[in-house]
Amino acid sequence: MSGAAVMAEEEARGIEGRAELVWLNDYACVLMSLPGAKLIIDPVGIRPDVVGAVDAVLITHEHYDHLDADLVASIQARSNCLVVADPTSSKLLSRYIPGDKLLTVTPGSQLTIGGARIYVEDCNHPPASTPVKFLVEASGIKVYHTADSLPFRDMARIGSAYRPNVVFCTVGIAPRTSPSTGAEIAKLIKPDVAIPYHTMSRADLERFCAILSKEAPDIRCVILEKGEVFTFP
């Protein structure tokens, strides 16, 4: 394989022992390039060519800022990838995605896509019909995408059982969410790195980090610009 081909393969599937994470919009769209798998969660308001080839699209719930059925269909058609969605979103997507490429999941579901193991967890987001969260593990790296969830007690169990390395925490826009509720999520889960997202306000991101710096200084807070690549470790 040529050097260019190797680089292309590494970009598409992630590099062994390293995760590359990109926050792509004002909401919860995260592109994950992991060892053995490339995944996009909740793509909205972006161009399909920005995503490139992926192994799966993951959808947490049906709200406008998390599900764009036309965009999901476009990404799926380009990659011939799997689409994994909560029951409500799956029903809405059934007119857009081939049946053998659409997988409905509920809390407690587990699946393997390429080199990634995906755990589907409960989500405390009452306005949504059947919301879920995704914890993704590949080569020992664990990334927890908490969708629009408010903090709840079971997050402590998830943190203890899985010990996520990176957690994305909602800090705005969704009902009752704030930098304080996002920081509470991080304190319950106790990851190595906490990344605030789901806000249009830089002040929300900075307030989240200020709270963690004071109340949980062992957790590293990382503020991402849209499109910026965060590499772990």
Instruction: Divide the 233 residues of the chain into consecutive groups of 10 and give the mean pLDDT of each group.
Output: 37 67 98 97 95 97 98 97 98 98 98 98 97 97 98 96 97 98 98 98 98 98 97 97
CA 176, chain centre distance (Å): 20
Note the pLDDT of residue 53: 95
Q: Is 65 within 8 Å of 28 (Cβ atoms)?
A: yes
> pTM for the full model?
0.93
Show the 3-state SS of 76-98: HHHHCCEEEECHHHHHHHCCCCC
- Tell which residue, 169, 228, 155, 164, has the closest CA to residue 197: 169
Q: Name the residue ranges covered by the structural domains of the chain.
A: 12-223
Note the pLDDT of residue 16: 67
Note the pLDDT of residue 15: 56
- Tell which residue, 153, 158, 148, 157, has the closest CA to residue 182: 148
DSSP state of 183: H
Note the pLDDT of residue 17: 85
CATH architecture type of domain 12-223: 4-Layer Sandwich (3.60)
Note the pLDDT of residue 67: 98
Question: Count of residues for the chain?
Answer: 233
Report the Cα–Cα distance between both ends of the chain, in Å, rounded: 27
- Cβ-based neighbours of 170, under 8 Å, separated by 6 or more: 28, 146, 147, 148, 149, 150, 177, 181, 182, 185, 197, 198, 199
CA 130, chain centre distance (Å): 17
Q: Is 196 within 8 Å of 213 (Cβ atoms)?
A: no
